[in-house]
A and B are shown apart, each in its own frame.
Chain A
Amino acid sequence: GENVEQHPSTLSVQEGDSAVIKCTYSDSASNYFPWYKQELGKGPQLIIDIRSNVGEKKDQRIAVTLNKTAKHFSLHITETQPEDSAVYFCAALRARQLTFGSGTQLTVLP
């Protein structure tokens, strides 16, 4: 089955700086890669996704890049704000099943 590795497990940045979280996947058949933000006491919220036929996607301060050859994808958050502090999960979809990375605790320091 699919295996998704996510790094780093924790990340602290100063407000206004950029944050980058990286994931690798094992199954070349995976074709959809969402990113989720989970705040304390809440369910995961989809923040951006990318499909395997696209190399990059951007939505305001958030961007995702995908390298199919290397089987890795990354989340980029620019101009970080304290409200960006949360746990972020990457995931890979294969055969209608999502496999999640282990999560990254992002802390934005004011």
Chain B
Amino acid sequence: SAVISQKPSRDICQRGTSLTIQCQVDSQVTMMFWYRQQPGQSLTLIATANQGSEATYESGFVIDKFPISRPNLTFSTLTVSNMSPEDSSIYLCSVGDSNYGYTFGSGTRLTVV
């Protein structure tokens, strides 16, 4: 299965600022996914990052708040914009399919103060 490197592993940010999270995969993948995991909660899909086209966002998530880049088949970024304390969560990158399974990165633990 693919190996995912996610950076930063954690950060503490001031409200009103933005943070960009990077996801690097060791092989080319068609689809990359970004999830949010609020404290003590399950995983919620934010968007699917498609190479060469705009990301597809799930209900409740918008591009202005969570812009995503996908410049090639091994890399994606998620930006959390104009942060508030409610954005404090773990953000996770994932790749895969039903043939090989879905793999997750180690996550970015974001605290907004």
Q: Which residues of A contact B (CB under 8 A)?
A: 31-32, 34, 36, 41-46, 49, 51, 89, 93, 96-103
Contact = CB atoms under 8 A, between A and B. Distances in A.
A49 B104 contact: no
Interface residues of B, number: 22
| Interface residues of chain B: helix, strand, loop or mixed (majority) | strand
A102 B102 contact: no
Contacts of A34: 101-102
A91 to B, nearest CB: 8
Given A46-B102, A49-B101, A98-B33, 9 more contacts: A32-B98, A43-B6, A43-B104, A44-B92, A44-B104, A46-B103, A51-B98, A97-B48, A100-B42
A106 to B, nearest CB: 15
B45 A97 contact: yes
Contacts of B1: 46
Contact of A44 (B33, B43, B44, B48): B43
A89 B20 CA distance: 27
B51 interface: no
A93 B98 contact: yes
Interface of B: 1, 6, 31, 33, 41-45, 48, 92, 94, 97-98, 101-107, 109
Given A89-B43, A100-B42, A100-B43, A42 B101 contact: no
A46 B101 contact: yes
A102 B42 contact: yes
Nearest to A49: B101
A98 B102 contact: yes
Contacts of B104: 36, 43-45
Contact of B107 (A31, A43, A98): A43
Residue of A31, A43, A102 with highest tally of chain B CB at under 10 A: A43
A49 to B, nearest CB: 6
